[in-house]
Amino acid sequence: MDKYNQYIQRCFELAKNGRSKVSPNPLVGAVIVKDGRIISEGFHAHFGGLHAEAMAIKTAKESLVGATLFCNLEPCCHTNKKTPPCLPLVINSGIKRVVLSNSDPNPNVSGKSIKQMRDAGIEVVENILKNEGQELNRFFFKHILESKPWVTLKIAQTLNGMISKNKGAQTWITGAESGKFVHKLRAEFDAVLIGAGTVRSDNPQLNVRHVDGKDPVKIVIDGKLSSDPEAKTFEAGTTWIFHNPSSEGSKSNWLQKANVRLFECEEDNHRRISIKDVLRQLGNEGINSLLVEGGQNIFSQFVSQQLFDEIIILQAPVFFKSGTSSIQLKNDFELSIYESGILGEDNYLILRKKV
């Protein structure tokens, strides 16, 4: 099927134009080929906008009779979206063949569109660059299949694993290129999460400043609602605070902040906010992807409970003789290196769970 690869690769490139704009929908690109020529292209540009297949079909400048549609994801056939389903457009367009990278894991679709296209006499070719397609839409697939967001931990640390020189004090470790990389990450994720300790020590804005992109929803785990409502973290953008049931008396401090939502959360066996319940509630709110930025207590909980999909380590070429380590663990486990490289003077590692 190598003859199809170049067009599916083009679908991937087109689909990336929707990053940070289409969630909770998937990233989708479409290419229409006729007589060996690309005659139209499309991509899902923003949530609520035209889907990729619809854009490609509606903007085509010539007849689609006998053409081949390439798409990285199975066209939708259900009506519970802001936009109408693409399947009738495909079937009625005169297209004779549809080539796909992935079927849609959404149970409202999941092979149903493929069957209807075949029933209508359209040839359907599946699983072209399937793994690459799954990687592109890993956020969407995780949310659809598990009703939870894809979780990436981002840890900036020294060569000996320290995230600060003194507990509770802000310490800049990595350089400008790593900073830009982090802002790019924030623009690609639906939400970014920190603990109340990081609000106190770093008071981060958690927005996107060094690249173009949409600000993520800010998630703060603050069991006792002890954070200062006037902190920079809460000044602008949307913030969701997860607290425990016993913090009812502190709610009045937050009721006047229109950009803050409070979520009551279950506690774990150690009387801490249950990370599992946080992820469940985020999934219910349509959050496909979550970037966790600290601090030590938060990192340790996510890692020790293995409630993550990926860890990104940004490592500066320095040692601290003492300080706060990034993670505290009681058990050993291994990860796989997915990617590595250099960001200015820093190194980065992207690690995934072993499967």
Query: Any idea which residues carry the catalytic annotation?
Result: 53
For residue 274, how many other CB atoms are within 10 A of its CB? Answer: 20
Alpha carbon distance 168, 203 (integer Å): 11
Pairing of strands 150-157, 310-315: parallel
Amino acid at 303: V
Cβ-proximal residues to 71 (8 Å cutoff; 6+ apart), any chain? 11, 28, 29, 30, 31, 52, 53, 98, 99, 100, 101
Whole-Å CA distances, 50 to 34, 142, 164, 303, 313: 22, 23, 46, 39, 37
Measure the CA–CA gap between 287 and 147, rounded to whole angstroms: 9
Helix (H) or strand (E) holding 284: helix 275-284
The answer for 313, left when phi > 0, alpha when psi is -120 to 50, beta otherwise, is beta
Cβ of 277: how many Cβ atoms within 10 Å?
A: 16
- 278 CB contacts (<8 Å, ≥6 apart)? 193, 219, 221, 242, 263, 265
Give CA 205 to chain center in angstroms.
Answer: 19
310-346 burial code (b ≥16 CB/10 A, e <16): bbbbbbbeeebeebbbbbeeeeeeeeeeeeeeebeeb
Report residue 193 as tokens: 């999460």
- Do 315 and 297 form a contact (C-beta atoms < 8 A)? no
